[in-house]
């Protein structure tokens, strides 16, 4: 059983829950997704962490009352080898945790650097990451949660089946400052780095949870299960 903590501050949380269950099914492992809303829920029993995309300023504000972000950062300090997946705003938090904290990934990031909301876009990406295969006869069907919230049904676009290009969804996305990337570049959009891996921490500027390609979520579960 892999226990994955998910920061429920704001943003694309429910889609990550679905993606984690889908990836677990593909790998044949069992997963428990722990929805984290307060700092005191973050404990040493978590095997991995997901920081979703959304709006990083809103997340920092939402964290103030229950001190979730400081607890997540201190969990990362205590467990440097446990995997963390930060997507979009989550990548921003990893690259600039704020205050005196050192970045959790060795790169700097510029918020909203592709332009405004309407400049959001989708594009095929190349991925250079070893991930265990996932094969299921029945694809995982997204369930509505207790608030009747159902993940967006985004299917792979042509040319983005597994092992090939990845369907990247960029929503008012940040950009890594290419010359500042001092860790492994694992995802590219043409020549631009849009995904990095620094030890056990992965930061992606796009939203993998909005597609049905679970490569990055499988990586997280497999790494946590090591």
C-alpha radius of gyration, the chain, whole number: 16
184 scored as a contact of ligand GLN (CB under 6 A):
no
Cα dist. 118→53, 122, 141, 173, 204 in Å? Answer: 17, 12, 29, 11, 20
Annotated catalytic residue within 14, 88, 167, 183: 88
Residue 171 is a binding residue for ligand GLN (CB under 6 A): yes
Catalytic residue among 16, 21, 167, 207: 207
Catalytic annotation present for 183: no
53 vs 5: CA distance, rounded Å: 15
How far CA 219 is from CA of 68, 82, 105, 156, in Å, comes to 25, 12, 17, 18
Return the H-helix or E-strand segment holding 20.
helix 13-27
Residues 34-73 binding ligand GLN (CB under 6 A) are 53-56
* Contact window for ligand GLN (CB under 6 A) among 22-30, 64-72, 73-81, 169-177: 169-177
149 annotated active-site: no
Known catalytic residue at 207: yes
Give the strand pairing for 84-87 and 48-51: parallel
Which of the residues 18, 26, 209, 217 is marked catalytic?
209
Size of the site for ligand GLN (CB under 6 A): 13
Residue 88 lies near ligand GLN (rule: CB under 6 A): yes
**What residues act catalytically?**
88, 207, 209
């Amino acid at each position: 059983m892999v226990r994955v903590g998910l920061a429920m501050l704001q943003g694309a949380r429910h889609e990550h829950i679905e993606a984690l269950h889908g990836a677990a099914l593909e790998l044949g492992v069992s997963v428990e997704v722990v929805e984290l809303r307060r700092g005191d829920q973050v404990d040493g029993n978590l095997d991995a962490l997901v920081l979703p995309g959304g709006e990083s300023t809103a997340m920092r504000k939402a964290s103030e009352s229950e001190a979730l972000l400081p607890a997540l950062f201190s969990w990362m300090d205590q467990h440097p080898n446990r995997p963390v997946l930060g997507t979009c705003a989550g990548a921003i938090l990893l690259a600039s945790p704020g205050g005196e904290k050192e970045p959790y990934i060795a790169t700097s990031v510029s918020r909203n650097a592709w332009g405004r909301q309407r400049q959001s876009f989708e594009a095929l990406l190349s991925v250079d990451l070893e991930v265990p295969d996932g094969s299921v006869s029945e694809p995982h069907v997204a369930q509505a949660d207790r608030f009747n919230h159902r993940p967006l049904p985004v299917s792979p676009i042509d040319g983005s089946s597994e092992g090939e290009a990845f369907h990247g969804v960029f929503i008012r996305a940040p950009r890594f400052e290419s010359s500042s990337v001092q860790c492994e570049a694992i995802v590219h959009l043409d020549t631009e780095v849009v995904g990095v891996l620094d030890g056990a921490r992965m930061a992606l500027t796009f939203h993998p949870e909005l597609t049905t390609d679970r490569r990055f979520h499988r990586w997280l579960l497999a790494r946590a299960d090591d």
